[in-house]
Amino acid sequence: MPTVDSTNSYVTEAEAATYFGERLYATAWTGASEADQQKALLMARRLLDLHISWKGTPTDEDQALAWPREGITGIDDDEIPEAVETAQLELALTLLGTDLTASPEGQGIARQKVDVIETEYNPADRGGVIPDSIVFMLSSLGSLRGRQVSFSVSR
């Protein structure tokens, strides 16, 4: 069974138990085995650190995790923000019910034609591994890696 501790997780198992004990719609968590809960917490932390480009710099160059960080206004350099902890918990809950790393069937296909087979692809049609609600939760602390932002200006 994996071990969840401060070297590989932003939250403890006890904090997760408290959080999900007070949260509505936490059946996926409360119904999961302890081993699956631990795996979900660890995978959620890995996915956050892999897919979020955090602001600031790690407090210690040898630290195992992306947090704590320095150079972020309003956050102490030994602090893990509550939003990061909540994001890990919410992502862990989502992972217990959904494989966010799998590509959904039909993803990236804009149009298909059956006779004289034709397929048109849309590279922008890619679901994210990190749900938008979690990206929004973390928006003051970092941004999604690889997300292309486009806009138009008209007069």
Name which of 125, 124, 119, 122 is nearest 104 in CA terms: 125
Q: What is the pTM of this model?
A: 0.80
Predicted confidence at residue 150, as pLDDT, reads 45
Predicted confidence at residue 147, as pLDDT, reads 56
Number of structural domains found in the chain: 1
- Is residue 113 assigned to a domain? no
Name which of 98, 101, 150 is nearest 128 in CA terms: 101
Mean pLDDT per 10-residue segment, the chain (155 residues): 85 97 96 96 97 96 95 95 98 92 57 62 63 96 75 51
Question: Which residue shows structure tokens 């034709």?
Answer: 118
Range of the domain at 68: 13-105+127-144
Q: How many CB atoms lie within 10 A of CB 80?
A: 18
The answer to whether 141 and 84 are in contact (CB under 8 A) is yes
Predicted confidence at residue 152, as pLDDT, reads 47
Query: Is 70 strand, coil or helix?
Result: strand
Predicted confidence at residue 9, as pLDDT, reads 97
- Is residue 82 assigned to a domain? yes
Predicted confidence at residue 151, as pLDDT, reads 46
- Is residue 118 assigned to a domain? no
HSE-up (13 A, CA, CB side) for residue 154 = 1
- Is residue 1 assigned to a domain? no
Predicted confidence at residue 120, as pLDDT, reads 62
* Model pLDDT for residues 86-121, shown as the tens digit of each residue: 999 999 999 999 877 765 554 555 556 666 666 566
- Is residue 5 assigned to a domain? no
- Is residue 7 assigned to a domain? no
